[in-house]
Structure 1
Amino acid sequence: MRWLKQSLFSKLLIGMLLATVVPFSLSNIIAYQTTSSSMKEQVIELNYNAMEIISNNLKIYIHDLNLLLGSFYVDPQLMSYLRSEQTSPLQKLYIYNKVNAMYISRSEFNAVKYISNLKKQAFTSSDVGNSELENLLQDYDKIQGESMQYSVKHLGNKEVLLMQKNLIDYPRSTILGTLNMYVGLREIDKLIYSQLSTDDAYFLLIKDEQQLLYSSNEDTAGLSHIQGKLLGSRGFFEGELERREGVFIYVHNEYNDFPFTLVKFVPNAVIYSSAHKTINRSLLIQFIAIAFVVVLAMILSYFIILPVRRLIRNIARVEKGHFDIPKGKKRTDEMGLLEDRFYGMTRNLDDYMNREHRYRLELTTAQLKMLQAQINPHFLYNTMQSIGTIAMKHGAYEISDKISELGSILRYSMDFQTEIVMLEMELKHIEDYMSLQQGRFKSKLSYTMSIPPEARYLEVPKMLLQPLIENSIVHGIERGRGYGFIHLDVALEIKESEHLLCIQVIDDGKGITLETIEAIRQDYVEDKLHYGKNGIGLINVLQRLRLFYGPGFTWEVTSVPFEATIISLHIRMVMIPSD
């Protein structure tokens, strides 16, 4: 029996033979025939359960879409813009970005349109170049009240679900505008397709008028005769579809003000086919098979499930960064060999990650200092002080101020002893840097900053913001139209055990192509760094932040050329409570 102890494959093979050969051998002896009527009831009951699952999933899906419609209320800046009757370019950009963010958040959306009652204009985000879609955007209903309204619209020969909701300026009853979402049926098709067999057909009808929203069949002719038979919360009736006799099974459901009916057609051939497949099975054999499976599972769990669970727990510990994995009992089969190899791998991985982490920190620090220390700082300070004094003597006060700002920038960037600074110092550095850039671009460059006071005293890695601002100027504005604006936005969410810091750099320059964004993501995944005459690039900043904050740091880049290019940094800072 040594071969059985040392081979997991042998255990599985013997177990499967016992679990299959014995029950099926007995089933050939003890079998009885089930009636067609009982199989029909069973098929109907199984379809009821499957359709209830689909209905519940549809309710969850509609609920998720409703949450998207309510996302406008949780953005106080957006609500203030929506209440304003004036329309500035920044307000237009902010509202459009919100509509566009909602549009791109779901792949099945054909369009999202917000119609402002106060501004008397619409903000639309949709697929471009589609004449049928342009006609669809004009097809909507004027609604009253604050409840969600649903209707079926047509995009060519396809149905589209239109969801409409008025935005109410609570606690007042003023209607700020109407939000329209034109939802394609891709996700609904996925929910239903998982339960769809080859010969079955599904139909989804909405509202009390039983409007046809979805059909798994391209030919929907002849469905009008079933609408008058959909009585009660659920049921079934005999019928014919495409010259095939069968059973229509339906389930009514409702989500808030969205009643819908799910109908499934099952041909008689499918029902009787199931009956033929189970004709020789016996309940007694099923009980015997279940008993064998239970006993066999209890035996196999000792040999397989317990070490697998132990291995899963160890993997979870490694995922959390704990590499001190205790060794299990020595085993001689494949599972024991796997545990030994896993234990050795975690020890090697721990040593490698420690070395790699130290190497990355040292390499990043060395690169920063190498890029900063290109000239003698003392020589520069003395020279600029002399030039500033000469400028003051000749009454060139603006030149003196610019030299003072340049000196401040050099002192900050060449302070090699400081790696972590308060965000306030980074902002002062940016103000000096932007003052010099505005002296260069004059009125062609404008910038604004939005920072909550409590965020100014958070500690962040040095030289975090300047590379992002410099990228916006050099690659966005200077290589674009030669003029534009830059906005630096800092947001802070304070919780008991952590701070959530969000930094966004926004410009209306040339933008970043999708290929470039994908290349940045790929370099980030592969831990690549960029070098060269342009200083510390975007990917270098991202890699530095990942080294400092680990999984607590995330980022994203979105770009609409000459409208808004947004680089967002999200930093989760774990706060250590003071004694």
Structure 2
Amino acid sequence: MKFRSIRTRLIQFMLLATTIPLSLSLIFTLVHTRESVKEQTVNENVRLMYQGKTNLVNYLNGINRASLSVYTDPHFLRNLALRPDDYSIISEIYTTLQTIQVTTPDIYQVYLHNNVTNISTLVTSSVPRREFRAKPYRNIQAFGSGMTAIQPVHALDSYGFPRSPSDYTDRNVFSLYRSIVNVPDSKQLALLAIDVKLDGINAICDQLYENRSEQLYLIDDKGTVIYSHEPNEIGKLIPDHAFMKALKNDDEGYFDDKDAMSIYEKLNLGFASWTLVKQIPHTSLYQQSTQLVLINGAIAILALLAVVLVTLWISIRITKPIKQLTHYINVVQTGQLDVDIQVTSPDEIGILSRRFRQMMDTINNLILREYRLELANKTNQLKALQAQINPHFLYNTLQSIGTLALQHNVPRVYSLLSSLSNIMRYNMRSSEALVTLKDEVNHLKLYLELQKERFGDQLEVKWEIDEDSLSFSVPKMILQPIAENYFKHGMGHYAGVGCLSITTRAIDEHRVTIIIENNGSSLEEEALSKLQEKLGKTARQLELTEDDNSIGLSNVLMRLQLYSDNLSTLTISNLSPHGIQITLDIIALGRETE
């Protein structure tokens, strides 16, 4: 019983209704946040990497343009083929090489080997050095094909010259090699080598990542590291072959592996096939989303505890008045109908308790009223038995007067007396609550025949009777009160012939409509609205008072609704220019079959 109680079920429901949505919310928040963070990070870093690639390309192109300055000097190529002991020629060659060396602050030294004179020259910030050699210190073909090549990061070399005290011995550089030819001839006249410090590349790359949470690499097409967030990796090969394979797919893009998100941009220079790669570990990438999930989880736990406490409080608040109401019901079950129910809570249970108390008061009142009505009915039955002789005496008297009228050749008097007698017999048929519409119409015809005798040519009656409608069962005496209202309140207020129209129609097997119209006076708008509002009520809501001008209509409507379970209606409206229309819509009262 405890596990089937409202309190237990309410707690279970609230826990499920809270835990499931909160869990789903945490999952959806995590997934959505991770995807949003991933998309936002990729977009931001793609733009950042593109800018970094642009800066590197411009930087390397600047070094390359410095190497091309030998072609802008109109005497340099000519000087390469002249006597090597001419000091003016040697000075011009020194000047050109020094111009290249000071073009960019990151150029450390420039090396030139003249294949024509077999002289190698090294220009640094110190005194230039030169000597005769049969071949260049290095071959450009070792680092690439074509007119230009680049050697990845390596230790600074003196190109075979003795080192001076001011030379660095532990500096890393990368070298740009250019084959100097006499265009358009492709024969190499000299080999130019430019050693470049890594400061410029470091300055560009340092701005592209967060040192503590991200990694950045600049590598060549063979996997040699030119720049790395770890200095000891510079100049070494990346051992991850799958990583290098992924970089060969496109010139730019990103891919996600099990540990990190990688975003890359290829420089695609003719002399430097370098790739800029940024790696963002998942721990850094999803750090914010993880923190958000932890915060939401803490909030969810607190919310769950609050729900449990509130659920216990609410369940106690709900079940306590229910138990009180159950106690009162048990008291009522013993026969004590006047129990005093003391439940004052303002919620639905309190409203239910007060309604139950009102219901018990109503039942008590109904029991008393029914008891009194039963006594009144018994008294009325006794009086009716005592008065049964009066109708018979009146019928016999009217019959005698009618016979005398025929003896004196006055058949109209006899007809009127017969109509009056039939009306009285119809009214005295107290044992019949329901009659056919045919009987009700015939009774109305007798009543209107007497009224025509009263008003003569000033009254016109129109009948439009549907034969199929006459077999429907209707409450007794519903038509005469409506017609009688016309003679009481409507007729005589306008000059001319009074007109009363009665129409019946069978709508279907369970519904008949009766329309009664007259050309008397219309109702005032305010009075019509009040009457329509009153006739719109149900049988239980209608209250009949003797001084009510609409008591006849209310009585008819009440009986129609009582017999049809409030399905039948009575409506009233004004006609133009004057008059009243009353419509009876009668539902499911039965039908007489032949």
TM normalised by structure 1 equals 0.39
TM normalised by structure 2 equals 0.38
